[in-house]
Amino acid sequence: MIDELDSQRALLGAAVLGLTLMLAVVVRRVTITVLDRGDSDRHTGRVVGRLASVVVVVAGTVYALELAGLQVGPMLGALGIGGIALAFAAQDILSNFVAGILLQVRRPFRVGDEIASGDFEGRVEDVNLRSVRLRTYDGVTVYLPNAEVLQSAISNYTKTPLNRTAIAVGVAYDSDLERVRSIILSACDDVSEVVADPPPEAWVESFGDSSINIEVRYWHAADIASRWRARNDVALAVKRAFDEAGVTIPFPQRTLWFGPGSTTLRVEDGQQEG
């Protein structure tokens, strides 16, 4: 009779365990469907779904073991002590796990966004509970630990549709600055990568040693490829417009003054020129 009762408990526990596994799959799929509805990267639901399925499996397994007649209390106590030791030994793994959840909740970027984190820039290819997979612009795949990404400054280049870039150009001191600004703005207007709204700007920035420096600011599409195309095309257009208008971009210059009554320049090899 006792053996028959034990067999029934074992069968009931096995049935509950089987139902638990099926329920975990259903919970995971439902979570993905609900959370990732209308979301192109489909990663928040996957992460939360995995976590929810693990919770269901753990809870269902404990319940199934109890139904089977096993003493779960001592096992849980032993697992608790072992879990503390394991937690100390796996701090990095746990920190990346928690950071992965926080990244999914905060959503500073999504799959497909172009970001910079730490010393790396590139397009986000995957976000999981351990790392962020980044494809750099050199074609290299980099795996960034979630904890490091969360603790570092994150620049999301594609969060907004437009970015602004600035390049500096120097002109000779005898240049007509208003005319130069007009030439620069006209050149920027002819560049297809530069958007018209907000319009380009050209501001006198500083008086350098050999030139008056002007900062050219313009807006373009947010992706890095557009950034570099716009930068190249603006530089070419400004140089071409300066050449046509006769505006000089001076070379670095130095003026030597020998003081009153001195007209001798001493050269390194000892020769004199005067």
152 and 166 together in one domain = no
Residue 253 neighbours by CB under 8 Å, 6+ apart: 209, 210
CA distance 259 to 36: 77
177 and 217 together in one domain = yes
Task: Say if residues 247 and 183 touch (Cβ distance below 8 Å).
Answer: yes
CA distance 59 to 63: 6
CA distance 117 to 153: 6
Confidence at residue 79, expressed as pLDDT on a 0 to 100 scale:
58
Look at the alpha carbons of 57, 63, 69, 72 in this order and tell me if their dihedral is positive or negative.
positive
CATH at 142: 2.30.30.60
Split at pLDDT 50, 70, 90, the class of 274 is: very low
- More confident of the two residues 16 and 91: 16
- Pick from 11-25, 46-60, 87-101, 223-237 the range whose average pLDDT is largest: 223-237
Q: Which two tokens stand for residue 264?
A: 């001798």
Least trusted range by pLDDT, from 72-86, 132-146, 223-237: 72-86
233 and 200 together in one domain = yes
185 and 212 together in one domain = yes
Q: Report how many domains make up the chain.
A: 3
Over residues 152-187, the pLDDT tens digits come to 899 998 888 999 999 999 999 999 999 999 999 999
- Pick from 24-28, 35-39, 179-183 the range whose average pLDDT is largest: 179-183
CATH at 187: 3.30.70.100
Q: Which two tokens stand for residue 206?
A: 């500083």
Q: Is residue 100 part of a domain?
A: no
Residue closest to 218 by CA, chosen among 206, 232, 208, 207: 232
Split at pLDDT 50, 70, 90, the class of 268 is: low
7 and 81 together in one domain = yes
Label the pairing between strands 212-221 and 265-266: unpaired
The three-class DSSP label of residue 137 is coil
16 and 80 together in one domain = yes
8 and 34 together in one domain = yes
Task: Say if residues 214 and 175 touch (Cβ distance below 8 Å).
Answer: no
Mapping DSSP onto H, E and C, the string for 168-222 reads: EEEECCCCCHHHHHHHHHHHHHCCCCCCCCCCCEEEEEEECCCCEEEEEEEEEEC
Which of 223-261 are b and which e, b meaning 16 or more Cβ less than 10 Å from the residue's Cβ? bbebbebbbebbeebbeebbeeeebeebeeeeeeeeeee
Q: Which two tokens stand for residue 257?
A: 């003054």
Q: Which domain holds residue 139?
A: 109-156
